[in-house]
């Protein structure tokens, strides 16, 4: 009965209903876009940063995080890696040795960090340096003497494809050791620090150089299909898989500054969404309140013919619920093509970023996409429904408070 | 990353040819020749007084130092002059280099990152000190020329890096006077076989009762006006030294 | 005048509706004002973050120094140049750089020594405010050094630890001396954190036997914009290389731009929501009263006058709304400009593209920003009143009277 009345009321005041529906539908569109863009930007930043070295979840020797050293290492890496890969939600895993070294050519010597990798595990997906290859190619074996180096390092050492380079580091016993490599590829990420001091080398060769066992490394990095699952994956790994003497950390711990930044970013987005919510509910509140005021006479009549104030309030709320639900449906339908466009094509922001956005290299994508999680969609839907009904709460209560006699008198 | 001419192991690169690598059909025993030359400056153990002059575009400096060696793995060098650096000492023990600094009374082990740094402001790096004794493992030696060239009867020995050896040079070529068997010149080539630096051996004189070149001058090819010159003033190959002499604890002890 | 009176009166007759509509519009205006001030502030904060800790707006080096940082490649008259530049409104800080080994106890690490002119540095950068433990450099304590966060960790050094520096002095001698850690920095940048070792210019010169010259001059652009500052600096520092921070760190500049671009999209969305509220309020206040307008027309008011009355009413409300928005929003925006909004409760050390970020978000109030917000408010209100205004103007009286 109440539902029917509320429904009929909506269509008796079509214009008002359409305005309200428009508000909600527009709100859906704005919220989904804002949340999706925000989530996409975290996703990208976090994944890019994971691809630069540590992955989403890292198994490393105890104490390595506090003071990294090649003397610290974990063992049984192959077995651990295969068990890590079996964990639900883990997409990729790599075994790496990361360390500081001195690099020399016949003309010069520079300091730099080496990342020793197994090329069969590394894909452009998980390794930004491979994606940033400008010349030459990635080495294919694990025991070769081939290296992929940064463009600025190549420049400093006066190196080119095929040229020799000697890496000197401190081995597992603290002894100074050297190894020869030839340049196989040159990458350019456009981050000066990285391009001038990073190189990739084959892992088994470095193991031999450093005196590591065939199954030892400084880290195992896991790439999680959805970065939000990092923590549960970490707990799973540390509970059952991690070798002795190892600690397991998520990207939040290995890259605490990035985590802080993304927290603040998220905070700002919450602020933004809160303001957006205030605006949307202000719109709905405005409309409902006005409509209640306009319908005083009508409400007075209803009360006079025996409707209880609570029922009246319920009716107003039900109207709002209909508007919210209908608005959500219309909004979702209307913004579906837009969402699809953002997911598939994206917004080209290059005009806002100056002409030469290539300076940012692989780290900058001038095309903005969105990332939608079903949780965000659900929260948006529930949130907007709650907002639209919450905004009608005050008008509903004030409708219920209308003294029937006065109103009729007033009108008469 | 240059190979070493450092005192007193400075010329020892000439002994670096591993015996089996010397091809049998060679009319000349390269290994024996290299050994002979090496023994000019360094026996099982040595004690020397050496002066070093460094000239670069930015400074010129000379220093005087005492140096001891035992085998190929241990070397101790202590500065006598200038006064400012008197007592500073460098100990090479295996692959490690320790520096004692009297000004701060500290002994520091150099990290891998410092290995590329200049040793005592010269054209040698700390890494040269470490790499020097490894030439034997890193290169194959062969006789590349014998006969007359430029009016001089010469023997030329070429050291080629072994497969995978962690060295930056393309090759090292040493020229020896065929008559006196005195070394004359060593050229260091980069990968593109261009000369990167040149070492010259001159001023043959009496050291430890034998005739040997007493001066060697190193000239980097990219800065032809610069050089590092090392002059042996005293050399004693008959000293008795033990491992304890080359301990880190002994570093700071002044004589 | 006559129409104005009608407009004021009809607003007065519907006080409650007028108040609701005005408040909704004011809320929208308020959010627009504060949010755009925060957004402008963020752009500025991010740029300041990038330049204020170590980079500076511009840097001057001797030609070729950046490619191959050589101890001997110096700007010869650094102090003189700094004085000349400050006369033209560009404050600058001369700096010295070299690499050395830093050892503390049994640990040692390669370090980038940075010789700092403590007094001038404070005019260009805010690094002195970023000390986590202990204190910043002081010229009266020439043995006191300040370490980057990661360097201190890898050397196992704390405030009070003794540190030996070993390097090669400009005269070829062994540079070595004993120092004491005075301070350990917060996160500054990847490079400074990992290897930055700061000492006073005098201490640097003594250690490295480098009596004169500087490797770098970091400039603050002051009131000039970046390009103007660059041309001033170039004209003063002839023969040296002058570069803006954008040229020095193109990737960071790009990241900043893309981040800003993302924020502006959010701003568009916010404007969308605001227009929606205003449109909604205006439409409601006009449509609910179509019947009234019908009556007006029935008694002989021309369609134009009806439209004009509606327009005036709406504009009066917008005026009141913007007054409210300004009265409440501006003080908040100014407060946020002065004191900032401390986000440190959200997180600890932050960095943007490897450069540390202050956890305080400052707003930026500008005439242009406020004018845009208020102008947009009026424009949206005017646009929103257009449709119902025209509708009311052309509607036939009878139809209007029965209009729901």
The answer, for A158 touching chain B at a CB cutoff of 8 Å, is: no
Choose among A311, A293, A291, A314: nearest CA to A302: A311
Alpha-carbon dihedral of residues B27, B28, B31, B34, nearest 10 degrees? -160
Q: How far is B250 from chain A (nearest CA, A)?
A: 21
Q: What percent of chain C has pLDDT over 70?
A: 93
Alpha-carbon dihedral of residues C67, C70, C75, C77, nearest 10 degrees? 180
Instruction: Render the burial of A347-378: b for 16+ CB within 10 Å, e for the rest.
Output: bebbebbeeebebbbbbbebebbbbbeeebbe
Q: Do A166 and B168 touch (CB under 8 A)?
A: yes
Q: Helix (H, G, I), strand (E, B), or coil: what is residue C85?
A: helix
CB atoms < 10 A from the CB of C376, how many?
Answer: 18
Residue of C255, C265, C350 lying closest to A257 (CB–CB): C350
Whether residue B135 is predicted with pLDDT greater than 70 in this model: the reply is: no
Give, in order, the Cα–Cα distances in Å from B65 to each of A15, A83, B83, C177.
100, 59, 11, 21
Q: Do C257 and A354 touch (CB under 8 A)?
A: yes
Whether residue C197 is predicted with pLDDT greater than 90 in this model: the reply is: yes
Per-residue pLDDT reduced to its tens digit, C351-401: 665 566 666 778 888 888 888 888 888 888 888 778 777 877 777 777 766
Cβ atoms of C397 and C306 within 8 Å: the answer is no
Alpha-carbon dihedral of residues A33, A34, A37, A38, nearest 10 degrees? -150
Query: Which residue spans of chain A are classified as CATH 2.40.70?
Result: 93-217
Per-residue pLDDT reduced to its tens digit, C232-248: 888 888 888 888 888 88
Query: Side-chain half-sphere of A122: how many Cα atoms within 13 Å?
Result: 27
Per-residue pLDDT, averaged over A280-288, amounts to 78
Helix (H) or strand (E) holding C355: strand C355-357
Supply the pLDDT for residue C180. 92
CATH number of A93-217: 2.40.70
Distance CA C272, CA C266 (A): 10
Q: Which residues from A are below 8 Å from B167, CB to CB?
A: 166, 180
Q: Do A164 and B95 touch (CB under 8 A)?
A: no
Per-residue pLDDT, averaged over C30-41, amounts to 84
Per-residue pLDDT reduced to its tens digit, A165-220: 988 888 888 777 888 999 999 998 877 778 888 999 999 999 998 888 888 889 88
Q: Which residues from C are below 8 Å from A285, CB to CB?
A: 24
pLDDT band at A319 (very low <50, low <70, confident <90, very high): confident
Choose among C83, C48, C57: nearest CA to C219: C57
Give, in order, the Cα–Cα distances in Å from A305 to each of A8, A106, A312, A395, A409.
18, 101, 12, 21, 15
Q: What is the DSSP string of A136-188?
A: E-----SSSSEEEEEHHHHHHHT--TT-EEEEEEE-TTS-EEEEEEEEEEEE-
Q: What percent of chain A has pLDDT over 70?
A: 92
Beta bridge partners of C112: C99, C196
Q: Which residue has better confidence, B189 or C402?
A: B189
Give, in order, the Cα–Cα distances in Å from A280 to each of A389, B181, C34.
12, 96, 17
Supply the pLDDT for residue C115. 92
Structure tokens at C150: 């990661």
Look up tokens 């690094």; give the residue.
Answer: C127
Pick the residue from chain B with its C-alpha nearest to C195.
Answer: B113
Distance CA A141, CA B117 (A): 33
Distance CA C374, CA C365 (A): 13
Per-residue pLDDT reduced to its tens digit, B106-126: 888 877 667 777 888 888 877
Choose among A388, A254, A342: nearest CA to C280: A388
Supply the pLDDT for residue A149. 93
**CA B196 remoteness from chain centre:** 16
Structure tokens at A255: 């890259």
Per-residue pLDDT reduced to its tens digit, B203-234: 888 887 778 888 888 898 888 899 889 888 88
Subunits that touch chain A (at least 3 Cβ pairs < 8 angstroms)? B, C
Residue of C110, C346, C404 lying closest to A267 (CB–CB): C346
Look up tokens 């005017």; give the residue.
Answer: C382
Q: At what angle do helices A296-304 and A256-294 cross, to 10 degrees?
A: 70
Per-residue pLDDT reduced to its tens digit, C39-71: 888 777 777 777 888 888 889 888 888 877 888
Helix (H) or strand (E) holding A201: strand A198-202
Distance CA C362, CA B237 (A): 74
H-only helix segments in C156-249: 190-195, 201-208, 226-236, 245-248
Residue of C24, C156, C255 lying closest to A286 (CB–CB): C24
Q: Do C170 and B59 touch (CB under 8 A)?
A: yes
Structure tokens at B11: 């010329």
Q: Which residue has better confidence, B132 or A301?
A: A301
Distance CA C14, CA C16 (A): 6
Whether residue A290 is predicted with pLDDT greater than 50 in this model: the reply is: yes
The answer, for A276 touching chain C at a CB cutoff of 8 Å, is: yes
Choose among A367, A243, A274, A276: nearest CA to A28: A276
Cβ atoms of A273 and A31 within 8 Å: the answer is yes
Subunits that touch chain C (at least 3 Cβ pairs < 8 angstroms)? A, B
Domain ranges of chain C: 2-52+253-401, 58-220
Alpha-carbon dihedral of residues A159, A162, A165, A169, nearest 10 degrees? 130
Distance CA C153, CA B95 (A): 26
Cβ atoms of B169 and B189 within 8 Å: the answer is yes
Supply the pLDDT for residue C354. 58
Pick the residue from chain A with its C-alpha nearest to B166.
Answer: A180
Sign of CA dihedral A284, A288, A289, A291: positive
Segment among A113-122, B139-148, B245-254 with least mean pLDDT: B245-254
Supply the pLDDT for residue B27. 55
Helix (H) or strand (E) holding A14: helix A14-49
Domain ranges of chain B: 12-250
Q: Which residues from A are below 8 Å from B127, CB to CB?
A: 102, 104, 109, 168
Q: Do A67 and C356 touch (CB under 8 A)?
A: no
What average pLDDT does the structure give for chain B? 77
Supply the pLDDT for residue A201. 94
Residue of C166, C173, C177 lying closest to B121 (CB–CB): C173
The answer, for A85 touching chain C at a CB cutoff of 8 Å, is: no
The answer, for C347 touching chain B at a CB cutoff of 8 Å, is: no
- How long, in residues, is chain A? 412
Whether residue C350 is predicted with pLDDT greater than 70 in this model: the reply is: no
Whole-complex ipTM? 0.77
Cβ atoms of B79 and B49 within 8 Å: the answer is no
What average pLDDT does the structure give for chain C? 82
> DSSP class of residue B186?
E
- Mutate which: C162, C166, C212, vs B, most B CBs within 10 A: C166
Radius of gyration of chain B (CA): 18
Q: Tell me which CATH homologous superfamily contains domain B12-250.
A: Lipoprotein localisation LolA/LolB/LppX (2.50.20.10)
Ramachandran region, residue B71 (left: φ > 0; alpha: ψ -120 to 50; beta: rest): left
Per-residue pLDDT reduced to its tens digit, B21-72: 333 344 567 777 777 776 666 667 888 898 999 998 888 889 999 888 887 7
Per-residue pLDDT reduced to its tens digit, A376-411: 888 888 888 888 888 888 888 887 777 766 655 554
Sign of CA dihedral A231, A236, A239, A240: negative
Distance CA C256, CA A352 (A): 11
Per-residue pLDDT reduced to its tens digit, C137-153: 898 998 999 999 888 98
Per-residue pLDDT reduced to its tens digit, A126-165: 888 888 888 999 998 888 899 999 998 998 888 889 888 9
Per-residue pLDDT, averaged over A31-51, amounts to 81
């Amino acid at each position: 009965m109440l539902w029917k009345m509320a429904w009929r009321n909506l269509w008796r005041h079509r214009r008002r209903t359409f305005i309200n529906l428009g508000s909600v539908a527009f709100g859906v569109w704005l919220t989904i876009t804002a949340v999706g863009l925000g989530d996409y930007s975290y996703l990208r930043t976090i994944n890019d940063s994971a691809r630069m070295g540590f992955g989403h979840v890292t198994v490393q020797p105890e104490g390595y995080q506090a003071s990294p050293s090649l003397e610290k290492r974990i063992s049984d890496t192959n077995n651990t890696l295969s068990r890590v890969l079996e964990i639900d939600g883990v997409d990729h895993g790599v075994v790496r040795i990361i360390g500081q070294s001195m690099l020399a050519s016949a003309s010069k010597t520079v300091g730099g960090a080496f990342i020793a990798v197994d090329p069969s595990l590394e894909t452009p997906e998980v390794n930004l340096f491979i994606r940033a290859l400008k010349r030459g190619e990635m080495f294919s074996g694990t025991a070769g003497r081939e290296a992929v180096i940064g463009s600025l390092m190549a420049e400093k050492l006066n190196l080119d494809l095929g040229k020799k380079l000697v890496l000197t580091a401190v081995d597992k016993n603290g002894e100074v050791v050297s190894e020869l490599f030839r340049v196989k590829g040159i990458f350019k990420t456009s981050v000066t620090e990285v391009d001038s001091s990073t190189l990739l080398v084959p892992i088994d060769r470095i193991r031999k150089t450093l005196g590591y066992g065939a199954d030892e490394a400084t880290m195992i990095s896991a790439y999680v299909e959805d970065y939000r699952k990092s923590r549960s994956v970490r707990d799973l790994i540390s509970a059952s898989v991690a070798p002795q003497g190892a600690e397991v950390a998520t990207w939040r711990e290995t890259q605490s500054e990035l985590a802080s930044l993304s927290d603040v970013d998220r905070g700002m987005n919450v602020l933004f969404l809160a303001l957006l919510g205030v605006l949307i509910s202000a719109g709905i509140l405005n409309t409902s309140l006005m409509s209640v005021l306009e319908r005083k006479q009508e409400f007075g009549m209803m009360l006079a013919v025996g409707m209880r104030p609570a029922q009246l309030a319920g009716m107003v709320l039900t109207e709002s619920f209909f508007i919210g639900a209908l608005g959500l449906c219309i909004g979702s339908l209307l913004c579906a093509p837009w969402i699809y466009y953002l997911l598939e094509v994206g917004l080209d922001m290059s005009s806002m970023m100056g002409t030469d956005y290539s300076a940012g290299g692989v780290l900058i994508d001038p095309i903005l996409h969105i990332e939608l999680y079903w949780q965000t969609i659900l929260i948006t839907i529930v949130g907007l429904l709650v907002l639209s009904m919450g905004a009608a709460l005050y008008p509903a209560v004030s409708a219920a408070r209308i003294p029937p006699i006065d109103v009729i008198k007033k009108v008469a | 990353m240059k190979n070493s001419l450092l005192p007193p192991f400075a010329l020892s690169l000439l002994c670096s040819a591993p015996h089996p690598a010397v091809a049998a059909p060679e009319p000349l025993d390269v290994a024996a020749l290299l050994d002979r030359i090496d023994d000019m400056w360094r026996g099982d153990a040595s004690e020397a007084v050496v002066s070093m002059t460094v000239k670069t575009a930015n400074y010129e400096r000379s220093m005087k130092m005492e140096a001891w060696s035992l085998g190929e793995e241990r070397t101790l060098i202590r500065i006598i002059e200038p006064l400012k650096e008197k007592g500073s000492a460098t100990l090479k023990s295996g692959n490690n280099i320790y520096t004692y600094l009297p000004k701060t009374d500290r002994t520091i082990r150099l990290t891998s990152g410092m290995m590329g740094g200049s040793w005592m402001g010269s054209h040698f790096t700390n890494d040269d000190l470490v790499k020097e004794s490894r030439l034997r493992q890193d290169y194959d030696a062969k006789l590349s020329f014998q006969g007359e060239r430029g009016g001089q009867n010469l023997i030329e020995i070429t050291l080629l890096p072994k497969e995978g050896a962690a060295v930056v040079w393309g090759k090292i070529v040493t020229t020896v006077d065929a008559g006196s068997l005195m070394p004359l010149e060593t050229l260091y080539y980069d990968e593109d076989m261009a000369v990167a630096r040149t070492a010259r051996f001159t001023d043959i004189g009496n050291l430890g009762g034998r005739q040997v070149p007493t001066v060697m001058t190193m000239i980097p090819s990219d800065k032809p006006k610069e050089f590092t010159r090392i002059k042996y003033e005293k050399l004693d190959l008959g000293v008795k030294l033990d491992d304890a002499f080359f301990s880190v604890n002994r570093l700071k002890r002044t004589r | 005048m006559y129409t104005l009176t009608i407009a004021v009166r009809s607003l007065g007759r519907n006080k409650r509706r007028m108040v609701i509509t005005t408040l909704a519009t004011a809320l929208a205006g308020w959010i627009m004002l504060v949010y755009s001030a925060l957004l402008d502030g963020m752009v500025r904060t991010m740029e300041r973050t990038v330049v204020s800790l170590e980079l500076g707006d511009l840097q001057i080096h001797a030609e070729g120094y950046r490619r191959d940082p050589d101890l001997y490649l110096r700007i010869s008259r650094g102090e003189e140049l700094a004085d000349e530049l400050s006369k033209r409104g560009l404050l600058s800080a001369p700096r010295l750089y070299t690499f050395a080994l830093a050892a503390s106890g049994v640990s040692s690490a390669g370090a980038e020594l940075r010789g700092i002119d403590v007094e001038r540095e404070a005019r260009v950068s805010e690094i002195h405010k970023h000390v986590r433990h202990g204190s910043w450099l002081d010229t009266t304590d020439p043995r006191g050094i300040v370490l980057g966060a990661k360097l201190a960790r890898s050397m196992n050094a704390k405030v009070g630890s003794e540190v030996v520096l070993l390097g090669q002095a400009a005269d070829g001698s062994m540079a070595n001396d004993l120092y004491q850690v005075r301070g350990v920095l917060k996160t500054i940048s990847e490079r400074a954190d990992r290897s930055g070792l700061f000492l006073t210019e005098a201490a640097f010169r003594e250690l490295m036997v480098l009596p004169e010259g500087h490797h770098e001059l970091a400039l603050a652009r002051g009131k000039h914009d970046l390009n103007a500052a660059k041309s001033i600096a170039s004209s003063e520092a002839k023969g040296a290389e002058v570069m803006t921070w954008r040229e020095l760190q193109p990737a960071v500049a790009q990241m900043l731009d893309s981040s800003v671009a993302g924020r502006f999209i959010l701003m568009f969305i916010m404007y969308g929501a605001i227009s929606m509220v205003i449109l909604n309020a205006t439409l409601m206040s006009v449509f609910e009263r179509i019947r009234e307008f019908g009556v007006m027309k029935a008694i002989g008011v021309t369609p134009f006058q009806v439209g004009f009355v509606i327009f005036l009413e709406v504009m009066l409300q917008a005026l009141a709304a913007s007054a409210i928005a300004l009265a409440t929003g501006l003080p908040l925006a100014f407060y946020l400009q002065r004191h900032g909004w401390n986000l440190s409760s959200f997180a600890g050390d932050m960095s943007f593209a490897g450069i540390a970020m202050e956890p305080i978000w400052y707003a930026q109030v500008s005439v242009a920003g406020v004018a845009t917000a208020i102008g947009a408010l009026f424009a949206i209100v005017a646009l929103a009143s257009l449709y119902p205004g025209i509708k009311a103007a052309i509607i036939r009286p009878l139809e209007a009277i029965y209009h729901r």
